[in-house]
Structure 1
């Protein structure tokens, strides 16, 4: 379903080092090709101008004539041409070679037999020189120079290696022997600890360190029987540095290289390192490859012939070629190292389908960053507290698309098996049969079959991840989630919401119309009684209604479910979730205003009583005690006033004037400090009114409460007006529902997290139908 994207992987190298020095033991492919970048714009020209460019005085001819032989081919990085590769259309000889060939051809045409023999000798010598250069140069460098660049010192081993030269990036993880000259697990672990590395690699999809005790070695390390034992090896990926892309604006070069390092270079190095410790596998294979290379050079064979022989002679060379061929085609690389360790290498969706990542905003609702699910923290061994999940939507999307194990897992989600007969234990896709056979009858596959047997879609739905944990008696975090990520990694399942034919579905914005013709054929073969796929999708997108109504046959409910599952497996449709928003309408705002008016009237009367009490106390001569009690009363009054609500303008002004009259009668008998307190109270009385309130106090307008769980003072009064007059159980459930009324939560999530039944939620929605807005969104 994904559109093919050209791979930036140019080559795969294996660099080794021994007492003889560093060497480039193996490289693939023979002639890596790099898309040429220009420093200035090249304009299209007319045909007559093209003829002028072919003249010897043209700038293009001058620049070509001054180029070296390696620079003649714009796409071939090594500038080599074997004698058996003349059929390649991209194998363009260098300018000097073209000139020599033309001279030889003309001389041969009209010369004697001796001249022809001399020309043949010159041509044979030229071919021999090119064959030798194919063995000695690569990527525009001498192999010895390239090996010295990629064989770091011991202090730089057992860590990430990154080198960028012009448009080429070299990424790997070099490993070496310990101080005693032995390949040891403890050496790799101690080097990482000395550099301050954690037990689990940051961002590494492998989840373990090279030489981790979790991957214990089955056999002890053999004593070295090689004349010049290998002291270092380095599995290197050569990448074409990417240009800035609108599809990945936030992905810088370091992050981009980190993806290749985590998912390919580190995993492959870990497998090779384990086999080198166990049986000196890499050392022996490199000796085979080196002896074969010397023999092919002595026999005058081309480098292409050497690669063909190496593929049949060395299992390591075959594995390296498999890795390059698979990754360069944007597919999974499944290799077996020495028939002992199985390595499954793949790149995340961010690099496979970058254009789809930009469209995800159309089908995903922004996350609630204040939700407890996204604000959980974890503590490390050294006492640091780190967030366990991203804190914003951009980070969340980047994390999901840069991982090969799927999105963040939530207990109310479920799993959609991508193979129809997965529960029978055999894949239906012949291309996946080899991958499946490698894992069949292994321990984890037995548990996987037990888990996937529960995930068969039925008319009653599919068990959620939380339900499957209860049914199997497994732990959700420790058992279910790792199993789900295992199935996602091997592309056997995908996380979705529970599919029901009563739900709403629409055509997914991620669906590529270029695939419609191919899928229409499969649809017609599988669903003979249903309309053609284009017609069915047109009907589906024309009106929003339950999926079961798209097939108006009550006796064909199972057919309806099968069609829905087929569409979901091919990512053609997406579920439209019902979401909730809280709306403060005009009636509740008027009710809240009346309540605020009544509260302010109560405070005004309380102030009058306090003033009368003060006058009586002053008249009786208890001035000191009266003043202290009056100050306490005024303090309580100010507290009530700060929480009171505004009243309508006419009644508000009348209340303030009455308060001023009452204060004027006693101003002459009060102290200057008390007068200052009264003036501040008047200012507070005016400032306590919301300016926006004046715009709708006569004709209030309905508005949405964006975050009901973090409502403002006015919004809390509106919510109180909503629940006024409701039954106790309705009020209680309404307050529990408030955190989910921001439009960012689905019905499945609400029912799971509140531990309600669906009819309980429907009862609350019916009781507050005038205050809760329902809408659909993916």
Structure 2
């Protein structure tokens, strides 16, 4: 993917015309004579902050081909292109020249006759533009992300300019440095002043840091003028670093948030301490509290209650964690969860993941574990009744590790009503598995992270008294009984209004329809039997037990078929993976 920036450029349009103030990376081939002749001079300037030896070194190896292609544009040409008219300020700026695309967000600082422009004795900034150079082949989503980065940096600079004239002071320093060098060394390369500007200007060093952070991590946490925090990222870069074959666009994250439900859970993609350390220093205390309480066994609803936060606030924090690559979405771990190996998983014994797995779990082999998930299998089927608590804990840790590395996909059971005379186009009766009445419920007790480390069992076979965490006792009470009915009962047609005539007739012909309780529950849930809601969602929406739901599906198995596939909230993190 063409994610990395080629250059970052700062341009101003002032009362004395437009000018390119700074660009990075610049031509590193500085002549030895210049370095020697200017070292003494720079120590005497009031703007100097140290010698060339004090300059922080960068470990990034800039490509001469990329740098040269951007550097081939003269500064005056770029300033004329990027210093747009006032009518275009405040809008997205994008221009493509040959194989390079430039994107920015110009902002108007002062209007003619306003503020500093009224002074004719000194130059003032009318507008400015922070521009990123990208490969022309960069996707629209990547271009939009860089536009957002440019927009946020520009907003911070605009605020500081209006507050303390920060941009004007930095621009004056940069232009004076350029003028001094051009007057004394007219034959030296045009990029020579940028080396000296980088030593003198804090804004220049901030722009260099932006470029380097986007190159290395894809995340920016920067304070402009040590005051305004700029925090943004490139999700494509972040997820590509997590998994080189994973392509996640912002639209995918938005789609995940649209499908997010309170019964989902978050799985951190790193240690809690590491995730918190990667947050900005002034991050929300609520976010840190949510991360500390995160547990793969806890739903978002339970997590919100434990963290004393509203569910909507938790959703916002989860969106932030997804965007910055701190977590992924899963369904809370329980015995009934069915997992299968992801189609994009790298099954090579010599893969880096296999080596990393061996370092973490020395007692087993990743390839062997992956082979066990070559067909869908539930966690209850993998349980060893003779396993020690330590072995059970390690088994759960293995599942969590594989989910963190996108090696496993959870399959959910969906239900579809199919009658013989419907001739469905989208569903083939022969392709479905018949419903089975497997009695598996959620554990009512939530295990803590401390228990996870202590080696206690986090997943257990629940007893009949266990209930789903989102179901209240009143909601689980039996529905009001009705008299036994036959296929002609008029009230059944009212309750089955969401079905077609053929479907209603087929339902009423089932033996279980003679039982009022079964029929009442079926009429209540039949709107979900369209293949769009999985069992866990039905349980949450209607407050029913898994056992009751599975028994109902079994009783109406002559007209109900089940099939399994992944949840749309989680599938976005797999569909584009090519490893």
Deviation at 1:585, TM superposition (A): 5.9
Q: Tell me whether 726-735 or 168-177 shows the greater mean CA deviation.
A: 168-177
Show CA shifts across 1:297-334 (max 9, x none): 43576566644443332221122122223334562233
- Name the residue aligned to 1:400: 251
- Name the residue aligned to 1:413: 264
Q: 1:224 to 1:513 in 2, by over 3 A?
A: farther
Does the aligned pair in 1 maintain the 2:20–2:78 contact within 8 Å? yes
User: Are 2:279 and 1:427 equivalent residues in the alignment?
Assistant: no
Rounded to whole Å, the distance in 2 between the matches of 1:29 and 1:359 is 28
User: Are 2:234 and 1:347 equivalent residues in the alignment?
Assistant: yes
Rounded to whole Å, the distance in 2 between the matches of 1:301 and 1:515 is 55
Q: What are the equivalent positions in structure 2 for 1:609-620 lying under 5 Å apart?
A: none
Does the aligned pair in 1 maintain the 2:268–2:294 contact within 8 Å? yes
Q: 1:225 to 1:710 in 2, by over 3 A?
A: farther
* Larger Cα-atom Rg: 1
User: Are 2:371 and 1:538 equivalent residues in the alignment?
Assistant: yes
Does the aligned pair in 2 maintain the 1:582–1:771 contact within 8 Å? yes
Deviation at 1:752, TM superposition (A): 0.7
Deviation at 1:416, TM superposition (A): 1.0
Q: What are the equivalent positions in structure 2 for 1:645-724 lying under 5 Å apart?
A: 711-722=499-510
Q: 1:276 to 1:359 in 2, by over 3 A?
A: closer
- Name the residue aligned to 2:45: none
Deviation at 1:528, TM superposition (A): 2.5
RMSD: 3.7
Rounded to whole Å, the distance in 1 between the matches of 2:76 and 2:319 is 43
Rounded to whole Å, the distance in 2 between the matches of 1:515 and 1:182 is 68
Deviation at 1:399, TM superposition (A): 6.4
Rounded to whole Å, the distance in 2 between the matches of 1:407 and 1:313 is 47
Does the aligned pair in 2 maintain the 1:580–1:775 contact within 8 Å? yes
Q: 1:232 to 1:725 in 2, by over 3 A?
A: closer
Rounded to whole Å, the distance in 2 between the matches of 1:571 and 1:537 is 12
Rounded to whole Å, the distance in 1 between the matches of 2:211 and 2:516 is 67
- Name the residue aligned to 2:158: 273
Q: 1:267 to 1:515 in 2, by over 3 A?
A: farther
Rounded to whole Å, the distance in 1 between the matches of 2:255 and 2:559 is 43
Q: What are the equivalent positions in structure 2 for 1:154-193 lying under 5 Å apart?
A: 154-179=86-111, 181-182=113-114
User: Are 2:551 and 1:763 equivalent residues in the alignment?
Assistant: yes
Rounded to whole Å, the distance in 2 between the matches of 1:767 and 1:13 is 69
Q: How many residues align?
A: 450
Does the aligned pair in 2 maintain the 1:350–1:402 contact within 8 Å? no
Rounded to whole Å, the distance in 2 between the matches of 1:226 and 1:559 is 74
User: Are 2:413 and 1:481 equivalent residues in the alignment?
Assistant: no
Instruction: Structure 1: give runs of 5+ residues left out of the alignment.
Output: 32-79, 85-136, 184-220, 244-250, 361-396, 587-644, 646-707
Deviation at 1:575, TM superposition (A): 0.9
Secondary structure in structure 2 of the residue aligned to 1:480: helix
Task: Compare the two structures and name the one with the higher helix fraction.
Answer: 1
- Name the residue aligned to 1:554: 387
Rounded to whole Å, the distance in 1 between the matches of 2:227 and 2:256 is 24
Rounded to whole Å, the distance in 2 between the matches of 1:352 and 1:456 is 22
Q: What are the equivalent positions in structure 2 for 1:21-170 lying under 5 Å apart?
A: 21-30=17-26, 140-170=72-102
- Name the residue aligned to 1:63: none
Deviation at 1:272, TM superposition (A): 1.6
Does the aligned pair in 2 maintain the 1:296–1:302 contact within 8 Å? no
- Name the residue aligned to 2:530: 742
- Name the residue aligned to 1:505: 339
- Name the residue aligned to 2:174: 289
Q: 1:345 to 1:580 in 2, by over 3 A?
A: same
Q: 1:757 to 1:551 in 2, by over 3 A?
A: closer
Q: What are the equivalent positions in structure 2 for 1:551-590 lying under 5 Å apart?
A: 552=384, 553-555=386-388, 556-584=391-419
Counterpart of 1:754 (choices 542, 547, 551) is: 542
Q: 1:224 to 1:466 in 2, by over 3 A?
A: farther
- Name the residue aligned to 2:427: none
Q: 1:340 to 1:399 in 2, by over 3 A?
A: closer
Q: 1:516 to 1:357 in 2, by over 3 A?
A: closer
Q: 1:753 to 1:709 in 2, by over 3 A?
A: farther
Counterpart of 1:519 (choices 353, 360, 369) is: 353
Instruction: Structure 2: give runs of 5+ residues left out of the alignment.
Output: 33-68, 422-487, 489-495, 567-579
Counterpart of 1:12 (choices 8, 29, 41) is: 8
Show CA shifts across 1:359-397 (max 9, x none): 99xxxxxxxxxxxxxxxxxxxxxxxxxxxxxxxxxxxx9
Counterpart of 1:231 (choices 108, 126, 131) is: 126
